[in-house]
Each structure stands twice: as structure tokens, then as C-alpha cells.
């Protein structure tokens, strides 16, 4: 019988051979009545905008999705409807991003963001849960697993920050984040034209996605461009750069699935081996011809990997 890692890797290889880049996952996010699922919560002194869906009666482990720098909950548009078929799911706009206001004082940190996600899970009644994070969101997820080891039962990390971003080799993160921010400002003014033109998408999102011109225009805007240019960008960038959890990764007890694009231009794929070697229980899948946002670039592949991992968490395998 194939090992878990072999099954996950084979799933990734099959999907890559089918070349599913940019193909919409099922069920389609375009068929969801998103306003019906949007919520706001007052979590102490912090106001958080979030989306929540799924059957409250489902016994499967809930999942909370955490976006990265210059992101918003829509970074998970292609994944939320799929995950919600079998469980409760939620995705917040972190303070300073999306429609969540920047906290008073404007100071942000990775532990603060982890505490916000934990408080949101309290608000939703998630006693135990899986955390899925991309980029900065992956670093937040790892911090939360350290802070709440009895509650975080699994980690899904998509190109997580925390290795190169903890050293002086952080320039690609800064450049990519700044580029997305500028695209967001431009996109709010001319978003229709930018989204419709493949060359404009390639120019604005080329550091983030491997083939932005192959992403659907509405997904490029809703999932990437729309979340940029928010007041949390600079303080969150400062909070991420230099924050080093590498020596603590071995303390994380929860199993982890790490997914990385082989052509990630924001956080180098070589960082994946650090996560693989330092986490106690880690499955690593590297997707070929994929950039920094695998969950949006190859949602069908990603959702299959996610489903396989969540099944293991649900059964305690």
C-alpha cells in the first residue's frame, strides 16, 4: 500500500499531467451567494470581517483559512466551497486587510494575528480545527499551532513565510508585495480593463502566479488584485520579516501538509525542505509549473490534496 506521501505526490503528478492550471474547481465559487455567508465579529478590541459556510451539523474537523500579505478571504475562493461540502469552514480578513480595520495604534505581529484567528475560532465554536495558511498566513498558522497545540489538529501550509523571510534574503517578498499593492491601487480604478487583458495581468501578477494570463479575469481580480493596497500591508510586512520560528518548528505536534509551487518567485521552493525536515509530521508536495498561490493557480489539484489530508485528520490516521 502506498504511503501517505506517495499518495499525495501521485495526486499532484496526475493533476500536473492533466495540466489543470487555471481551471475552476467544483463546486464553482461563482455559484455561491457570498453575501449570505459574510459576517462581522467583535473580538475584544478587534473587528474582523469573515466568511463562514458549511453544515453546522457536520462532524468533520472544521477548517479556518488564513490569507497572506496583501490578501483577503477571497484568496480562498476556489477552495472554500469545496471544503464546505463536508465540514464547517471560515476565512477572515486579517486586521488591516480586506474589510477588517487596522487596530488602534496600527502595530501588528505574527502572535497577534494568531491570537485573532484563535478568537475567531472561539467565536465560531470551533473547539478543534485545521488551519490552512498561504505565505504570511502559513507563518501565522504555525504560530497558532504552537500557541494552541490541543486545538490545532492539522496544518496545511501553502508556500509559508518564515524561512527566507526570517533572514536578509527577503527582497523577493518585499518586491512582490509592493507590486501587488500597486496593482491593487490601479485595479480599483481600472480593474475591469486590467482584469480583461492577459498582458496586464501578466505584468501586475507575474511575481505571484506562474501564468497570470491563464487565470480567469474575475478570479484574478477577486482573488488577488482586490485585496491589495490596504493599510495593513506595511506593518504586516515588518511583522513578517525577521520573525523566526525555525528553531520551534519541531515543537509542533499536529500533522502538516506543505504545498509549494516549483516556480514560486516570492518565497523560494528551497524553503520547503526546511519545513519538511523540521516539522515532526510533514508531507511535502511540490507542484510543477506553479507559483506562489497554488490554491488559486491549481485549485483542482490543491483541493484533492486538501481532501486527502483532511480525511486523515478526521480519522486520526
- HEC string for the chain: CCCHHHHHHHHHHHHHHHCCCCCCCCCCHHHCCHHHHEEEEEECCEEEEEEEECCCCCCCCCEEEECCCCCCHHHHCCCHHHHCCCCCEEEECCCCCCCCCCCCCCCCCHHHHHHHHHHHHHHHCCCCEEEEEECHHHHHHHHHHHHCCCCEEEEEEECCCCCHHHCCCCHHHHHHHHHHHHHHHHHHHHHHHHHHCHHHHHHHHCCCCCCHHHCCHHHHHHHCHHHCCCCCHHHHHHHHCCCCCHHHHHHCCCCEEEEEECCCCCCCCCHHHHHHHHCCCEEEEEECCCCCCHHHHCHHHHHHHHHHHHHHHHHCC
Q: Is the pLDDT of residue 3 over 60?
A: no
SS3 268: coil
Distance from C-alpha of 160 to C-alpha of 261, rounded to nearest angstrom: 11
User: Tens of pLDDT along 274-317?
Assistant: 999 999 999 999 999 999 999 999 999 999 999 999 999 999 87
Across 35-44, 47-56, 75-84, 192-201, least confident range = 192-201
Percent of all residues in the chain with a pLDDT value above 70, rounded to a whole number = 82
The arithmetic mean of pLDDT across residues 241-261, rounded, is: 95
Using left for φ > 0, alpha for ψ between -120 and 50, and beta otherwise, residue 267 falls in beta
The Cα–Cα gap between 251 and 147 comes to 10
CB atoms within 10 A of CB 162: 26
Average pLDDT of the residues of the chain: 88
Q: Tell me, which fold does domain 4-315 have in CATH? A: Rossmann fold (3.40.50)
Name which of 259, 180, 179 is nearest 224 in CA terms: 180
Tell me the mean pLDDT in the region 253-280.
96
Residue 8 has pLDDT above 90, yes or no: no
Give the span between the Cα atoms of 208 and 215, in whole angstroms: 12
- pLDDT at position 111 is 97
Q: 166 or 153, which is more confident?
A: 153
Distance CA 82, CA 84 (A): 5
Mean pLDDT of 58-67: 96
Amino acid at each position: 500500500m502506498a504511503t501517505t506521501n506517495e499518495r499525495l505526490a501521485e495526486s499532484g503528478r496526475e493533476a500536473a499531467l492533466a495540466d489543470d492550471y487555471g481551471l475552476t474547481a467544483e463546486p464553482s465559487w461563482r455559484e455561491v451567494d457570498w453575501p449570505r455567508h459574510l459576517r462581522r465579529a467583535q473580538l475584544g478590541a478587534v473587528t474582523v470581517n469573515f466568511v463562514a459556510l458549511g453544515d453546522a451539523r457536520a462532524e468533520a474537523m472544521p477548517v479556518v483559512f488564513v490569507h497572506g500579505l496583501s490578501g483577503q478571504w477571497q484568496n480562498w475562493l476556489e477552495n472554500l466551497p469545496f471544503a464546505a461540502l463536508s465540514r464547517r469552514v471560515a476565512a477572515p480578513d486579517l486586521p488591516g486587510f480586506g474589510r477588517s480595520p487596522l487596530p488602534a495604534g496600527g502595530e501588528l505581529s505574527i502572535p497577534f494575528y494568531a491570537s485573532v484567528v484563535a478568537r475567531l475560532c472561539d467565536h465560531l465554536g470551533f473547539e478543534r480545527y485545521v488551519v490552512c495558511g498561504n505565505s504570511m498566513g502559513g507563518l501565522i498558522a504555525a504560530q497558532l499551532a504552537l500557541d494552541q497545540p490541543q486545538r490545532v489538529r492539522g496544518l496545511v501550509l501553502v508556500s509559508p513565510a518564515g524561512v527566507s523571510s526570517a533572514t536578509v534574503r527577503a527582497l523577493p517578498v518585499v518586491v512582490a508585495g509592493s507590486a501587488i499593492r500597486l496593482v491593487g491601487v490601479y485595479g480599483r480604478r481600472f480593474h475591469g480593463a486590467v482584469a480583461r487583458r492577459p498582458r496586464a495581468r501578466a505584468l501586475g501578477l507575474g511575481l505571484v502566479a506562474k501564468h497570470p494570463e491563464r487565470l480567469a479575469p474575475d478570479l484574478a481580480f477577486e482573488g488577488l488584485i482586490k485585496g491589495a493596497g490596504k493599510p495593513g500591508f506595511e506593518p504586516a510586512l515588518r511583522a513578517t520579516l525577521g520573525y523566526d520560528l525555525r528553531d520551534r518548528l519541531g515543537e509542533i505536534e499536529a500533522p502538516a501538509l506543505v504545498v509549494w509551487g516549483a516556480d514560486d518567485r516570492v518565497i523560494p521552493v528551497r524553503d520547503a525542505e526546511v519545513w519538511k525536515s523540521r516539522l515532526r509530521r510533514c508531507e511535502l508536495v511540490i507542484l510543477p509549473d506553479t507559483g506562489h498561490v497554488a490554491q488559486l493557480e491549481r485549485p483542482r489539484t490543491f483541493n484533492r490534496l486538501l481532501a486527502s489530508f483532511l480525511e486523515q485528520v478526521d480519522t486520526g490516521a
